[in-house]
A and B are shown apart, each in its own frame.
Chain A
Amino acid sequence: MELDALALKAQQSFYEDGLADIFMGGILLLVAVLILLISHFTFFLVFAIVIFNPLIYKALIDKAKQRWVYPRAGYVQPKPLHTPTRRDNLLGVALILTLLFAPILILFVSYSYPGLIIWVTWVAPVSLGLLFSIGPFIVARKYHIYRYYLFAILPPLLGLIIPWLNLSFPSIYVAYFTTLAIQLSIAGLIALLSGTVFFLRFIQRYPIELTDGDSTNALL
């Protein structure tokens, strides 16, 4: 009796249907589009998405699982990955704000244009990419779901690759936001594709079984 395999499979089951990948891909693509549009309103939306991401995630995933997953594979409430404290949340928001507005801060504080270029070209894409790696990395490490290592590596890796391509942009700010948008949209697209494949496989593997009423009635 492989109890360890049974335990691991139970832990992994929440990610088996690919819906979490689809959600992650969708959010990354949405953020990328909003960043590309560059306006006060879209920036406000990006912050709102980043801050309320766990709530949106829970609501949408619950709804989708209720519709497609629970009737096929049963309901499961996984143990929380990590319960962030208020300090963690504040630290996260401060970090994101600092990274997004660092170019403006550097220019206003030091008037160092070369420093700004180095930041925008090499530091910002990788560090912003790393921010998007934290969640997938925790999932990959804790539950041994190897595709999440790819989701964790992609954003910072793309942050290294895109500057090598030497794309030309009309201004440094456009370069900054476009690089970020390209990074997020490629990572998002890959997560979305992977999620779709896993979801379709899941649907095929677990067709809805017709039973005589609620299968759990026997218990009560």
Chain B
Amino acid sequence: MGITRRRFLQGSALAGAAAGAAAGQRLLFGELETVVAAHPALAVAPSVEDFVPTTCWIGKQDCGIIARRINGRVISLAGQPEHPLNLGALCPKGPAQITALYDPNRVKTPLIRTNAKGQSGTWRRASWKEAIDLVAARVKETRDKDPKLVLWQKGRSKAKSFYDDAFVNSLGATKLGHGTYCSDAGYRALEYTIGLTGVLHPDFRETRYLLSWGWNITNGGGNKFCWITWPRQMLEARERGMKIVQIDPRLRGAGPFADRWLPIRPGTDLALALAFSNVLVAEGYVDGEYLARYTNAATLVRNDGTLVRVDGVPQVWDAAADGPAPLETASQPALDGAYTVDGMPARPAFELYREQIASYTPEWAADVCGLAADEIRGVAIEFGRNARIGSTTVVDGVRVPYRPVGIAAYHMSQQELGFQAVRAMLMMTMLVGAPGAVGGQMADTSWKIDKNYTALDEVEVKDPPYGYTLKSSRYFPINSGFPGMVAKVMLDPRRYGVEKLPEVMITHYVNPLVSFLSRREFIESYAKFKFVADISPWLSETADYFADVVLPAATLEKYEGPSSANDQYTDAVALRVPAMAPLFESRGEIDIYLDLTEAVGVLYGEGGYLDELNKSLKLEPPHALPLDKKPTPREIFDHWALAQGIEQGVSHFETKGVYVKGPLKPAKRYGYVTDPPFGGALHRFYGESLLRYRNEMQAKGAEEVYWRDYTPFPTWRSLTMDASPAEYDLDLISYKLIEHKQSRTGFMPLLAELAPRQRLDINPRTARERGIADGDEVWVESQNAVTGETRRVRTRASYTEAIRPDTVGMPNHFGLWADPRARERGPSPNEIYYVGEGYMTNTADQSFLVKVRVSRA
């Protein structure tokens, strides 16, 4: 070949003998031979290599992916460098989903059930026409009676405009999501208090002091972002000097990144937030200007808890004029003092708050939360000090208040007192004026006020009969739409004053039997559906037991979106583009819905699916879809892209994957400087309407369990689970693993190889007391303190020093059986939680609190 190279010392000992001193030294001291590597040379050139941009299909934030193809066959998935959310990176689920794409165990054709429901299904293959016609006929039959009795339930929302909005609206169906298992109590608290749909997160570019609260930092993602955007922003913030206080019974997700760990007892976050607030108020870390100007803290409250109103307008005490005035006109709204208005005593809401918060001392909370009082006080003071109340800074030429402290919290909202706990945490940041400040408290990527800001303030508590979601009922005036409660209602409609139950259910990639809590209720209630159609790439456990028809959805091989690619600093939007033709006979969900609405007769014309799509995608002429012609998904996205001002239309996404609009201006990001400030929402420090609901619920005869947490200020009470017998001495928490996504990945072999099976995280001390060795099989038995019911699962003990000794943890995955590869990986902890009074919030959200006992199996 003409290339000089030092070859291996070949042959036998002779070579060694002949090789002289240098070789002798090499022999003695074992120096290594090297082979010259020089000219890059590829012997096998791939025939046709191309790259297709698409998006991740497993996770929440739809990271940009580039599918590398050889002769049209996808051989690997890598990150899109231009996508602001992942900047070319991926989490383990990104590359691993390639096995899901080719998985021969996907549902290959439409399936029609051939055996009775309530057991593992047997199926026959059907044509798309037969399956769609069957579903359409059953939907139509029920819809003609009452559209609300058609229930559409989803587990993931990858194209909200197409599914949640257009499809549900065109049918007039009832929609249920999975948010009540996720973080909806927090969403409601934020919508109600500051008008934003989201949960608490920091302004990572500027935050200096972060309370990572029940937030599994590197494994948990967030309500808007996944495991890539957050950790990267968090690391960059840490490298700039941000400190992290981890408030969590379990340390693992925060790993090496926590500067301080407060291992709080599960379910006591409200008490801790109240104690933090107590210290902030006592130490004078109060941003009076923010509270007086942008919240209702100065509003005058009568002794009965209602606001002082003049002509319907709430009044504050204007210290300058020494009299009541609307907030807008008051030059000096007072936060303290006691006044008389119209001959009746009234005090600013903040004065009441100050009085109430005084009893929630760190010493008190130390007992409740299982922490040290000094530690609570110390963190609160550091928080207050780092808030730098009164300071401002200039961002992109705009002067904005600077409060570089914040809270990151997410799924922790799903606990018995979740709504009020999140409200109390938010109010803690409100005390220092952090919401919407630079470095301060964020909850969304914009300050667009959600309609729930008003709606949750104006709920009309009605008399029965109620709809089966118990909306506007005396039970849950603020109602997140809880599938678990719907199941309970279906089992006993009269108990809840419900007359009509859902008859047809369309499950859109959701698996309530495994991923929702309390399987028993679902199994019993789903047996009552007259017809269930499931849309999913895999046969879910729910479909296995209850689907009449399964419609196979494609995975990466479809058009879907649009999805936001906004990382809270750069605005961008992306589309999923098919990485290859759909495998088997699967189809994209949009195709399925176009066919289904056509077959039901609600595709065309006004109020039809196409018309609803024009509304949800904001397609105006000339880009609006014609209402009399069935488009392809690609055509719809082309209309949408053109309407967005993207000249090349959908082909922009087919070549680039993401459309980057540019950096977000401070006037978009920071509530203080939006126009109007904070999107025009007055922050509800005082929740007058919460008190009103309480009174109305009582008046309509609701039991205390429903109304007790409707208080104008967050108020601590003891937890239902604490009434469990003493032998149930441990708290069970569940959490996410980065390798898995809910119940959707347990059967994906590459991911299952990394996180193969269920386990019980247990402190070695706790385990040894029970004679449990690392790896032993154990029973975990939970107890419902209200009904006395017990449930148990069997798993393996896994020693960890990173968990409170009185708490045990299980990842929130596994427990699947429909796919043979997912079996024998252990149970899901969801099986031993409870649904129902005492185990849910006042907003009809699931609570993940339960007492368990652990014993060797």
Chains A and B form a bound pair:
no
Q: Which residues of B contact A (CB under 8 A)?
A: none
